[in-house]
A and B are shown apart, each in its own frame.
Chain A
Amino acid sequence: TTRSPAFLGLQPEKAPNMWSEKLSGRDVIVGVLDTGIWPESESFKDVSMGPVPAHWKGACEIGTGFTKSHCNKKVVGARVFYHGYEAAIGRINEQKEYKSPRDQDGHGTHTAATVGGSPVLGANLLGYANGTARGMAPGARIAAYKVCWVGGCFSSDIVSAIDKAVADGVDILSISLGGGVSSYYRDSLSVAAFGAMEKGVFVSCSAGNAGPDPASLTNVSPWITTVGASTMDRDFPAEVKLGNGKIVTGVSLYKGQSVLSIEKQYPLVYLGSNSSRVDPRSMCLEGTMDPKVVSGKIVICDRGLSPRVQKGNVVRSAGGVGMILTNTEANGEELVADCHLLPAVAIGEKEGKDLKSYVLSGKSATATLAFKGTRLGIRPSPVVAAFSSRGPNFLSLEILKPDLVAPGVNILAAWSEAIGPSGLKVDNRREKFNILSGTSMSCPHVSGVAAFLKARHPEWSPAAIKSALMTTAYVLDNTKKTLTDASTAKPSSPYDHGSGHIDPIRAVDPGLVYDIEPQDYFEFLCTQNLTPTQLQVFAKFSNRSCKHSLASPGDLNYPAISSIFTQKTATSFSRPVIVHRTVTNVGPADSKYQVVISPFEGASVKVEPETLNFTKEHQKLSYKITFTPRVRQTSPEFGSLVWKDGLHTVRSPIVITW
């Protein structure tokens, strides 16, 4: 967050009118469900903040190392939820873990600061990413709900936190965690999120880090905003200088005493082989390193099976002087920097293969490592992170997921001083900030931007906020080309980036929004072939029943469009697919929009009417889209539907699946 506000166009100096005291998110409260909070962090100082909003009814719960005084006008509340955890795992050992909102892990401090951290000048990690760290909504208030403990997070605690947060008066929930995918009515987080949405709370969740495998998304309910991760225009270059004179470029966040001499060459070793059989030693797993073999050498380790920083520690413990961490096919050329305990450089798959060939060629391979600090202005960016979970949405193909992407690679934000920046127990370093990657990091960017929008449009529903974020998202990178996928280096699709990359400033004034009422979401559930008993899960007040207002699930007034042609016989396909949408004018009263549809090979797409003439603010107008099959395609086709009035561009991605 020393870079992401600028990358998102959120610097106060660039858009001063967006940052007036009235509009900076002061009365918006974001509940962060995570590992707690490190309240002493400068990111949580409340200097010059006004009184706590009157609608806040939460509490500052006390416990080990956490008193009432740890809450302030920035961290307005902090609660703990551990009964489910203790029932499953056993009593929390208070000698080893804070049984309080205090964050032992760092993850919760990082996400909370990303949402709404106060500006901190000169923030950095060991000199890397130096700058002013600030949350996406620095005026917003944070309420920390600690639901994750050393042994994991349990749904009974998570649901209790959501339940309490709604009663406490949060406006937005930021949830950077997930489990497996299960049907809507079996997923308690989805059910609780539905309840929160019914009370007007915007819920954003991380999409998961199971990419680039297809259909690897979690948290896919339409009432949840599902956030994937992408890069920013910043990296941390490092070099591997080989004995044969070749230089391989990678990334690193290493800074320490054991710096390798760039004048000297060190023996290079790779414990794997050329064969396709996976050798656990090639991944530098615990217990696989022989000090006699690796001592004094730089070790090449393949990614996979164990945490990246742990591999570095395995090498270090065995006497290795450095590590080169190579991507495999799953990661492609995407480079994720880590704060290793020994000199280490992460390199891409292709360079990694060449490097291993060099070592395995039989010659006495040597190398040294050099660290180059922080580099800005990287092109292309953003790029969809290889690890970011991908669509399609396995539960409902008609709802395109993820919804959008946001910065989630190499994000600097506040950190717990209970643990070192590598997260390893043996890491005795203590840092105020850390650099992490994951959809956990992209989710709070969206939650913070949602708070930024909520402050400017307090009347907007959760669906309206989501629509504004989605329809203003962009799909061209800073080289003006389509966003790329780090795992393939090819153009990414809406299954990777959803509607695109968030653009907060444009989202403030989207022109039109696709609004959705809680009953509409229920109507969507009515199309999902659920039994009346299963539907009851979402109709708990018994005042919701199916009115069958949606002809199909694709008719939900979602800001993205997914059309499915089902095969009737070997040669014939379904009749034309028709979906309906209704847009609400949140721009000038008199607005005239014209539709633009991208061309498709397999179907003709007709929009009726092609023009929308608004005469009033908040006026709703509907349109119909007809997809007529033309030539069967072997893979999904992607495109877009855009409404333009000369001022606004309201874009919806389209997916046609055969």
Chain B
Amino acid sequence: AQFVKKTYLVQMDKAVMPKAFTNHLEWYSSKLKSALSTSPEADAESEKRIIYTYQNAFHGVAAKLTEGEAKKLEAEEGVVAIFPDTKYELH
């Protein structure tokens, strides 16, 4: 179960993006890479893991992560919150 990937919405604080990054996606990607560092696929896969980037009403990404990766990412600076993807229903 620890290797099962689920979707998490990762909320980021855009304001603390280091100046070294030219755009937010690059920064989000690097954050993800550091959370995946224990995974052999880290470098190549980090961008593939991102299924959405959010820039207007919400800032951050939705990415496919294991529970451990999500926990690790949550502790990263600039990560505001992690929301597990949730199912909604029509009313």
Contact = CB atoms under 8 A, between A and B. Distances in A.
Q: Is B one of A's binding partners?
A: yes
Interface of A: 34-35, 83-84, 87-88, 105, 107, 148, 152-156, 158-160, 162-167, 176-180, 185-186, 188-189, 191-196, 198-199, 201, 206-209, 438-440, 443, 533-534, 536-537, 540-543
Interface of B: 6-7, 9, 11-16, 51-52, 54-59, 62, 64, 80-81, 83, 85-91
B87 A542 contact: no
B89 A537 contact: no
Contact of A440 (B81, B86, B91): B91
Contacts of A206: 91
B10 to A, nearest CB: 10
A83 B90 contact: no
Nearest to B52: A160
Contacts of B14: 540-541
Contacts of B64: 87
B85 A166 contact: no
Given A536-B80, A537-B80, A156 B56 contact: no
Nearest to B84: A155
A177 B87 CA distance: 10
A198 B59 CA distance: 13
28 contacts: A35-B90, A83-B51, A84-B52, A88-B87, A148-B88, A154-B86, A155-B9, A155-B83, A159-B52, A159-B54, A159-B57, A162-B57, A166-B56, A177-B90, A178-B88, A188-B9, A188-B86, A192-B54, A193-B57, A194-B57, A195-B56, A195-B58, A196-B57, A199-B57, A209-B91, A438-B90, A540-B11, A540-B14
Given A83-B52, A188-B86, A541 B81 contact: no
Contact of B91 (A35, A167, A195, A438): A438
Interface residues of B, dominant DSSP: strand
Interface residues of A, dominant DSSP: helix
A166 B91 contact: no
Contacts of A180: 86
A89 to B, nearest CB: 9
Contacts of A88: 6-7, 85, 87
A193 B55 CA distance: 13
A77 to B, nearest CB: 15
Nearest to A191: B58
Given A164-B56, A167-B55, A440 B11 contact: no
Contact of A185 (B12, B15, B51, B81): B81
A162 B58 contact: yes
Contacts of B80: 533, 536-537, 540
A159 B11 CA distance: 11
Contacts of B16: 542
Contacts of B86: 154-155, 179-180, 188
Given A163-B56, A166-B56, A191-B58, A154 B83 contact: no
Q: Which of B54, B59, B86, B88 has the most CB of A within 10 A?
A: B88
A179 B87 contact: yes
B57 A166 contact: yes
Contacts of B9: 155-156, 159, 188
A155 B88 contact: yes
A166 B57 CA distance: 7
Contacts of A185: 81
Nearest to B83: A188
A621 to B, nearest CB: 33
A193 B83 CA distance: 15
Q: Which of B55, B85, B88, B91 has the most CB of A within 10 A?
A: B91
The 6 closest A-B pairs by CB, nearest first: A195-B57, A83-B51, A156-B62, A206-B91, A440-B91, A542-B15
A114 to B, nearest CB: 13
Nearest to A210: B91
Contacts of B57: 159, 162-163, 165-166, 192-196, 198-199, 201
Contacts of B58: 159, 162-163, 188, 191-192, 195
B83 A152 contact: no
